[in-house]
């Protein structure tokens, strides 16, 4: 099949593109605006494949979307393009409204316009897969509660509110227009090629530089962690095998407090990088507690039994194995993250006409 992946140069999107090219026979059209979070270097391993094509485009640009649909004639759209950093949404929510809500609406309309003119056979097999987050469900207060596919929405941040809005749009386009959609909501991802402002890569790179490891509040926020390559496998499985109109929650069965994650990283670095920056006795000594973010949810946890039961997906990595792989990747790929930190990775974006 031919699959359009929006946001395919981002963290999760690039993992999906790499999986599709390396592990399947599908063709991929990567549609990405190349904002700060898009990095084509994350796709160097597959960029020369004759089954891969890059389209530098914005999901808010309807004219370009219509051209891309007509030119490439996709069988599936996997929609991952999104503004996704909570702190950035608090500081500047407008970009989240524009990309996550208006962009999703524009993409839905372009997909609907394309889908309605397909032959009956292709129309029946077409899928629009919307990729969302567990943050739309808000906060869990009980220690044993889990998010299910029917948990009511209660978003807390501008980011999660914008994603909740896009989820509602996708379901409305299915209900009103019959557009064949599937939706996934996933827990926190981690792994290779993760933008360094997120918790795990930030802690790794700060520790290697002898900088403070800032932890919000007391660090007692609980998240369910999923290795990004496990998520990519799940997404492709849902896109190709999921039932139309259904939602699938994807989780790693790895609930950890943020402070536990940071301390585990410190322990791994003690083993893998015993030679520390000047003035650092133990990596844990770098942990500092900072003022909590506004509206910070305390606990997220996913019930992923539906996708296991119906589609046979389970994560392959434990938190321990995935975290070790992640730390080792950052140690082995300094060129990638140094280019992000010094901004030179954006020259690739400028080279694409951004």
Q: Which helix (H) or strand (E) holds 190?
A: strand 188-190
Q: Which two tokens stand for residue 241?
A: 């095998």
8-state DSSP, 302: B
121-125 long-range CB contacts below 8 Å, 24 or more apart? 122/75, 124/180, 125/75
Among 344, 322, 323, 36, CA closest to 203: 323
Helix axes 319-332, 199-209, angle to 10 degrees: 50
Contact call for residues 106 and 97 (beta carbons, < 8 A):
no
CA angle 217, 221, 223 (to 5 degrees): 150
Q: Which two tokens stand for residue 302?
A: 């996913």
Sign, CA torsion 293/99/6/354: negative
Active site residues: 134-135, 159
Residue pointed to by tokens 């926190």: 188
């Amino acid at each position: 099949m031919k699959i359009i992946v929006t946001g395919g140069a981002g963290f999760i999107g690039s993992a999906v593109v790499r999986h599709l090219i390396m592990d399947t026979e599908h063709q991929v059209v990567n549609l990405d605006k190349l904002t700060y979070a898009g990095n084509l270097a994350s796709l160097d391993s597959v960029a020369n494949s004759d089954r891969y094509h890059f389209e530098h485009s914005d999901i808010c640009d309807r004219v370009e979307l219509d051209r891309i649909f007509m030119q490439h004639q996709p069988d599936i759209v996997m929609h991952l393009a999104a503004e996704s950093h909570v702190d950035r949404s608090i500081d500047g929510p407008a970009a989240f409204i524009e990309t996550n809500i208006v962009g999703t609406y524009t993409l839905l309309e372009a997909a609907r316009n394309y889908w309605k003119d397909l032959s009956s056979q292709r129309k029946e097999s077409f899928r629009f897969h919307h990729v969302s987050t567990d943050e739309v469900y808000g906060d869990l207060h009980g220690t044993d509660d889990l998010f299910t596919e029917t948990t009511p929405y209660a978003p807390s941040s501008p980011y999660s509110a914008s994603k909740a809005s896009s989820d509602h749009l996708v379901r409305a386009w299915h209900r009103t227009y019959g557009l064949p959609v599937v939706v996934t909501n996933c827990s926190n991802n981690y792994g290779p090629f993760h933008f360094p402002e997120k918790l795990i890569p930030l802690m790794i790179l700060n520790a290697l530089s002898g900088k403070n490891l800032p932890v919000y509040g007391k660090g007692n926020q609980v998240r369910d962690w999923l290795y990004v390559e496990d998520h990519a496998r799940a997404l492709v499985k849902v896109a190709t095998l999921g039932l139309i109109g259904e939602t699938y929650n994807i989780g790693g069965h790895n609930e950890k407090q943020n402070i536990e994650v940071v301390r585990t990283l410190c322990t791994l670095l003690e083993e893998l990088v015993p030679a520390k920056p000047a003035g650092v006795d133990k990596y844990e000594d770098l942990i500092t507690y900072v003022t909590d973010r506004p509206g910070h949810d305390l606990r997220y946890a996913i019930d992923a039994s539906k996708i296991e039961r119906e589609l046979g997906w389970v994560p392959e990595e434990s938190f321990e194995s995935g975290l070790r792989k992640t730390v080792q990747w950052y140690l082995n790929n300094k060129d990638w993250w140094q280019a992000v930190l010094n901004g030179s990775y954006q020259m690739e974006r400028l080279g694409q006409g951004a």
